[in-house]
Structure 1
Amino acid sequence: MDWQLGGLPLHPLLVHLTSVAVPVAALVAIAVAVWPAARRWLAVGAPLIALVALVSVPLATSSGEWLESREKETALLQRHTELADGLLPWSIAVFALLVLWWGWHRFGIARVTNGGAVRAVAVVGPVLLVAVGVVSLVEVVVIGHAGAVSVWQG
């Protein structure tokens, strides 16, 4: 695919989408994990936000690979591209956990009669959501910083 519009590469535009969508999804994951009112307020919106973030990651990486093939290879650019390859699994995890968390609160709690299972999910779910949210935030910052360094210092 030709990742340009009007002769300009689309990668910067798609990177900005990703650098906003992934942190927003991560913050939403953290919010619904620790704040029940946010879970009720966001409801199905939380997984939808995470879906936008998830879709933006392969778009940004594909456009970045296209752009990389047209640029001089440097160690800084190589570091950025290697780091960027690690974001997709975390975006998948945020999306999947938000879907499961939403589904659990929408359909699961009322049907489970085992109080131990409810308590286990009530502890494990938020811990996982916060963990993947924090890691996603850190990943985006590290990848973005490496990309900026490769452009401005490379």
Structure 2
Amino acid sequence: MGLINGLPAHVLLVHFVVVLVPLTALALAVCAVRPSVAQRMGIVLPLLALVTLVSVPLATEAGEWLEEHVADDALVRRHATLGDGLLPWVGGLFVLAVFVWWAARRRESTGSGASRRSGRSAAAVRVAVAVLSLVVAVGAAVDVYRIGDSGAKAAWHDGFSKTASDGDGDAD
């Protein structure tokens, strides 16, 4: 994937990643901590995570194309290296989103008739999934920030002036 409407596809596709990864991370964290929210969201949570998961390799592939079409630069290489590390985080978001959705559906269908012993083990699993979800959500969000920051530095490091222009396009 190279160009979309004359622009590098990466420049456009990366906006999906920048929005969807933190949104999915937030949704997962809330649903993992509050099962009632997961029940209300239903299938939306894993579908959101799936769209997010698909968007990352698309942006990465477009980024690899763009990398081949710009001058060799240490900042671009750093950005590409960081970008390659996002897919495992987003894969984790997807797997956990599916599990949280499945657990919410199961809890909804079984009701509250569980024994005390199975209730304790279910609570322990719920706490473990919530903690793991929070760790993966924060890791994914931080990784997106780091990748975006490195990409902005690569794109803009010498592309602007620190002083304002004279306003060549202004009408007098």
The aligned residue for residue 163 of structure 2 is none
Letter in 1 for 2:134: V
* Residue 38 of structure 1, CA deviation: 2.0
Partner residue of 2:125 out of 100, 104, 121: 121
The aligned residue for residue 170 of structure 2 is none
Per residue, is there more helix in 1 or in 2? 1
Where do residues 84-99 of structure 1 align in structure 2 (5 Å cutoff)? 84-99=83-98
Superposed CA RMSD in Å reads 1.8
Query: What percent identity do the matched residue pairs reach?
Result: 42
Letter in 2 for 1:76: L
Partner residue of 1:141 out of 129, 142, 145: 145
Segments of structure 2 that go 5 or more residues without pairing to the other structure are 159-172
The aligned residue for residue 6 of structure 1 is 5
TM-score if structure 2 supplies the norm length? Answer: 0.83
- Contact 2:75/2:154, CA 8 A, preserved across alignment: yes
* Residue 35 of structure 1, CA deviation: 2.4
In 2, Cα distance between equivalents of 1:99 and 1:108: 14
The aligned residue for residue 24 of structure 1 is 23
Bigger shift: residues 105-114 or 24-33: 105-114
In 2, Cα distance between equivalents of 1:123 and 1:45: 22
Aligned residue-pair number: 153
In 2, Cα distance between equivalents of 1:108 and 1:38: 12
The aligned residue for residue 15 of structure 1 is 14
Segments of structure 1 that go 5 or more residues without pairing to the other structure are none
In 2, Cα distance between equivalents of 1:42 and 1:104: 13
Q: Give per-residue Cα distances to partners, 1:75-100, cap 9 Å, x unaligned.
A: 11111000000100000000000101
In 2, Cα distance between equivalents of 1:103 and 1:39: 9
In 1, Cα distance between equivalents of 2:65 and 2:42: 37
